[in-house]
A and B are shown apart, each in its own frame.
Chain A
């Protein structure tokens, strides 16, 4: 029997990015799994509030004042009073991988009752290849106990690099407001023991609650848009990033996985509040989906930044007429890339910048 080698910790290669406005008590439950890692906490909302971080964690914390100080006028691209501000954490990180989790997400149990180390599963997902060009009916062929099925061409069995690992949620599922209103008591109790690659050319709704990605590869595409205060829309930040990311991954030949790991999502947000935030999004997504499905990136878009700027041009050209918001968003996308490149000059991953309160 082949031995399965243990998953590397990657503790010096991965940052955990957490947006929060309240407190970080949830970290206590994650301590056995998160303690080895560096945390980047992005404080949303009132910067005069002090966020208590449990003892023993190595972290840096940024509030709105820090974001304004570090980015100057470019801070306009970072959302205010919305968890979309988390993408600032991606920008200031110096690590190869990011794991982002919401502060109402806890450790889930698998069907045998064992605590799920979500971070370890995400790392496994990111370190093993994806298979976007042909669907494997036994799901992830690189998992122990599985393989490629009969008929799967051998030339495609090496797979491609995985850029994104999208995890799921037990208990409170990630429903939109109308669905929450119709089914307020529905809980996700189904543990689906699978990880799969989302095929090339297929879009999906990417949830930012339990998400990991290769920052060095796809980081610049993970802009979570203009949401929250002063904006006509909320709760579409991760969706926007997901559609841009998938289009770019498809273009550059990288994989996106979804499925395990599960976390336990404890808090159901108020569906009426959500409806107000999502309302425009529910209409706009009818335009957005065909838009993203038809985005064609020219061959000379060979970097993520180039792809992203190209998408921003097409957003302005085609979605500007849906609402002026998309003109602003297109500009913000460009600002984001400028800010990203400033903070992440190529070849200088270890450059340090003055940050907010750290340990």
Chain B
């Protein structure tokens, strides 16, 4: 049973990488219309946004971003990273974010999945990172802790991050999708589980929710591939951000869940065309994963901001020499923490 959450504790943040959001918003209307939405337009997008009526929302565009953070800093919010601006200006406790090419999915019984409700349930029930429960989420209806699960670990810890999944176009990298062009994910796995402490994983930004009050500063725009593009196959920013978040959560004793809810991800783009750009990201992961697996934060890092600052330092010390991209990432992390401290705690509203 989750706590009863008021609708006004939730912001839905959408990064608009394409101008026409009409069908996206209409498909999500029954689920989204109760909530306040923050739509952030990719500053590189030239066309006007088309947004249907009937939503309670604020729209932020390049001029707004420039005004709030300054024109020199606003470049960190281009492309998929535009959504982080939405996280920055939100004043709500919970944020849910999905890519603008995802629609509500249907579960195994053919019922429309309320992704927002499931994410909120995930965030408001405890996580269990210290011991694996073989029946997955013990707090869900019809399940519990199994024999052999220590009682002292059964109250769990706060869940800071909820990572959802995708039916149809799964979040594969370009080489994988190019090799299996027809493969679509049709397997609906009826489970939510806590990712164990000290276990890392690729956290996709396509369908994600988090407790902004607790972990906000750790979801950050930082790593940008030299050839970063406007398809997920051409980015690693969310994967990088996700590694930071997991390391910080592990250090602070917070939980990360993965599994439901699913969204339906539409076919878009061409994996083979993106192959050229994404190879950079694929190579990087060989450095990035062992790096994050070895990061140890100090006992003095007791807030999320402190943790992020420490990670940024370690990135600078250990990765800077390997690729200038890492040096820029480390700087972006430091800038982000400053930004969070100044903007994250003051009010702001979009321009006309």
Contact = CB atoms under 8 A, between A and B. Distances in A.
A205 interface: yes
A187 B142 CA distance: 7
B131 interface: yes
A173 B199 CA distance: 27
A193 interface: yes
A272 to B, nearest CB: 15
Contacts of B149: 176, 205
Nearest to B236: A151
A216 B146 CA distance: 29
B232 A150 contact: yes
Contacts of A190: 142-143, 190-191
A146 B198 CA distance: 24
Nearest to A148: B176
A173 B289 contact: no
Interface of A is mostly: loop
Interface string B252-294: 0000001000000000000000000000001001100100000
A238 B147 CA distance: 10
Nearest to A289: B150
Interface in B131-171: 131-136, 142-153, 163, 165, 170-171
A174 B199 contact: no
Contacts of B32: none
A98 B152 CA distance: 34
Given A137-B163, A188-B143, A150 B182 contact: no
A285 B148 contact: yes
A298 interface: no
A207 B134 contact: yes
A236 interface: yes
A17 to B, nearest CB: 20
Contacts of B173: 148-152
A204 B190 contact: no
Interface size class of A (residues with CB under 8 A): 35 or more
A145 B148 contact: no
A137 B202 contact: yes
Given A134-B200, A155-B286, A192-B189, A202 B132 contact: yes
A111 B108 contact: yes
Contact of A146 (B131, B153, B185): B185
A134 B242 CA distance: 13
Contact of B134 (A166, A191, A193): A166
Nearest to B151: A282
A176 B135 CA distance: 13
B131 A135 contact: no
B28 interface: no
Given A1-B182, A176-B147, 17 more contacts: A135-B201, A145-B185, A151-B203, A151-B242, A168-B134, A173-B143, A175-B147, A176-B146, A176-B148, A186-B142, A188-B142, A192-B136, A201-B199, A202-B131, A205-B131, A239-B148, A258-B134
7 contacts: A1-B182, A134-B199, A134-B289, A137-B203, A192-B190, A236-B148, A239-B148
Q: What 9 pairs between A and B have smallest CB-CB spacing?
A: A205-B148, A151-B202, A135-B201, A151-B239, A199-B199, A204-B132, A202-B196, A150-B173, A176-B147
